Structure 1
């Protein structure tokens, strides 16, 4: 049995999620390290007020992912595969040894600041269920032609679960159009920036420049990228993935499929997410998918060990 650690993206956050991490020495040490690197108490980042900030959300999710990965590793549960959706790529890169935790925190904080300053209000993401990528692209072109504003395919989470980015007005009108065209559901996400599209080209260029001298290393195990759903084997390639993923469509389903086809059999999703677990269960029911956020924190390691041992 083979373990894959997967890390959710922005939108999965909820108040208090850092406070619900397992009571574990590795978690406490990670929180202390984050507080020192950031110059603030990491446990202040998950309040309702704090989570209105893109910066707080992305930094807090990075901390949560690294903390749980370290807790599992300290129990002998080292993954063979690491992948993260959007900002989840940062804890994935830390957990496979490609970049230090402190450097990742600095990089993700800068990423979030650039995203937030580029589009401080009036933009975001919406998830459309029931239509495929080609249908969404066709609708988006018609939507723009009709003068309703451009929306962009931001995430392909599953064949018929597509996230689009754009202005609030464009997303609201597009959601209505999609539902009339046959979508089962259209839902705004708790994200206030237009992630993973050309609207963040300039921000990505600034992050590339700011991270070019940051040390990266070849990963332990397999790091799977956001953009193409493929394994990256060098530190330079992982640096480029992290620095540029804000402007490229996230092809999560391709990443998931690669891991399954490469014999990953047990998937553990870091807190606070459960969506990646649901996608895995829906499309690959023969593998085991566990959301750490839905399990008793003190039983997480024992449950993962049992699933790896018996394949149940």
Structure 2
């Protein structure tokens, strides 16, 4: 069974929307880009330049566009997921593909989400990925440092992302490296996602989400906050509106998908971080990134992986 994974901020690179589908993009990709441009009132192909991607708004909306476009193109090739999950803003693409919310409505919510996050912490903040310490060790290091940082993402048992100000992240970086962390690197994210600094932004997003129609998903959707399967419209609305405020338990989400019977994990573009994490967490599963190449070649790889898992 196939699970689609939708990446969050940090996966973006300049011109990644232009590279969707390779040298000869699939018609579904063109259609999705046009639909997104109409929904947002801007040519979305102007949003993936290096300059544009300095904006959290541009990053978040283009990531959702890329994921939905790729999923639709695969659908035209006869490939469909049996379950979905998305990391942070990727959850919006997952919800669209699961049939829980319309694409245009999701994009407008994402646009508001990103604007609220930028306004909450416009300068001097970000996120730090730490490899080599577990959650308990990280919690102890944060407490002893006295730095105003928070755990934002639990991507793997020993891959944790912290949120906070530039100064606080610099302080905790030095400490975790002295405590045995193998690596501590800043992400390409200019806001401190998934922590208390997003409290007010989350409250406003909850209010906006109440005006948007949500439906029960057609397939299982695994949420960010609790890493549980969410099957009702209200549960998914709440997950999307509040995930900017609470830590993302991504490793647990991947395990939840496996427990549902998913054995082929396909990462929507851009990037391959989520498939790498899935391969580490579930070595017997197949992990495929759609980062580059044609849609037809990606579909062929998914079919081959499904056959191999059945053998």
TM class by smaller structure: over 0.9
Residue in structure 2 matched with residue 261 of structure 1 by the alignment = 259
Task: Report if aligned partners of 2:134, 2:158 keep a CA contact under 8 Å in 1.
Answer: yes
- The aligned counterpart of 1:6 is 5
Report matched runs for 1:164-175 at 5 Å. 164-175=162-173
Deviation string, structure 1 residues 144-198 (Cα, Å, up to 9, x no partner): 1xxxx31100000000000000000110111111000000000000000010000
**1:283 is aligned to 2:285:** no
Looking at structure 2, the residues matched to 294 and 150 of structure 1 have their Cα atoms a distance apart, in angstroms, of 39
Give the structure 2 partner of residue 16 of structure 1: 15
Are residue 131 (structure 1) and residue 133 (structure 2) matched? Answer: yes
Match of 1:62 among 61, 64, 69: 64
SS in 2 for 1:127: strand
Are the aligned partners of 2:255 and 2:281 in contact in 1 as well (CA < 8 Å)? no
Name the residue aligned to 2:118: 116
Provide structure 2 residue ranges, at least 5 long, that are not aligned to the other structure.
none
Name the structure 2 match of 1:179. 177
Q: Is the 8 A contact 2:272 2:291 kept in 1?
A: yes
Q: Distance in 2 between matches of 1:49 and 1:113?
A: 17
State the secondary structure of the residue aligned to 1:193. Answer: coil
Which residue in the other structure is 1:102 paired with? 104
TM-score of the two chains, using structure 2 as the length reference: 0.97
**Which secondary structure does the structure 1 equivalent of 2:243 belong to?**
helix
Paired positions, count: 307
TM-score by length of 1: 0.97
Distance (Å, rounded) in 2 between the aligned partners of 1:103 and 1:52: 24
What's the C-alpha RMSD, in Å, of the aligned pairs?
A: 1.0
Give the superposition deviation at 1:309: 2.3
Distance 1:172 1:73 in 2: 44
Deviation per CA, 1:246-284: give whole Å up to 9, x if none. Answer: 000000001000111221010000111211111111121
What's the secondary structure of 2:239's corresponding residue? helix
Give the match for residue 305 of structure 2. Answer: 307
Correspondent of 2:234 among 203, 214, 236: 236
In structure 2, C-alpha distance between the alignment counterparts of 1:44 and 1:173, rounded to whole Å: 37
User: Any residues of structure 2 matched to 1:76-91 within 5 Å, and which?
Assistant: 76-91=78-93
Any residues of structure 2 matched to 1:147-166 within 5 Å, and which? 149-166=147-164
Distance 1:262 1:211 in 2: 28
Cα distance, 1:310 vs. partner?
2.7
Return 5+ residue gaps in structure 1 as ranges.
none
Q: Distance in 2 between matches of 1:130 and 1:18?
A: 33
